Structures are given as structure tokens and as C-alpha cells.
Amino acid sequence: MVNSHIRFLEDCIEKKDNKNQCSFINEHKSILVTINKYKKEYYRLKKQLIDIIKKARKKEKLEYLLDSKGNFECVQ
């Protein structure tokens, strides 16, 4: 999509056609909207993944601590 857009820009520059330039601007705005949606979704998913990993590591650490406390014997 971006490569097509770049070729369209090159054509607009060469031909200096106002109608094509307006089409280019509209297409550019559409691409920006698409990219911004993608970025929002990407960062949302990235945050979810990091939260899942944090919870798993906390649980793993807690289980390790609980297991290690059970291995000690009281010596009197």
C-alpha cells in the first residue's frame, strides 16, 4: 500500500496534476488513519502481553519462595 502511494506521489510530481494531487492527499490521510489504528492495536496488545508476563513471573517467584520454605526443617 505504501509503495503504491509512493509511486502515485512520483506521478503527481512529474505531471503536476491538481486532480491527482488531491487524490494523493486523500489517500495519504486514509493511510495515516490506518497506521494510527494499527499502532493503537499494537501498543494495546504489547501492554497486555507484558502484563501477562509480569503476572506469570510473580506467580512463578511466589511458588518458588513457597517451595523453598517447605524444604527447611526446624532444628532444635
Reply yes or no on whether the pLDDT at 76 is more than 70. no
Q: What pLDDT does 72 receive?
A: 53
Q: Which of 54, 4, 5 is nearest to 28 (CA)?
A: 5
Whether 12 contacts 24, CB under 8 Å? yes
**Would you say the pTM of this structure is higher than 0.85?**
no
> 43-66, pLDDT tens digit by residue?
999 999 999 999 999 998 888 888
Which pairs from 27-33 meet CB under 8 Å and 24+ separation?
31/1, 31/2, 31/5
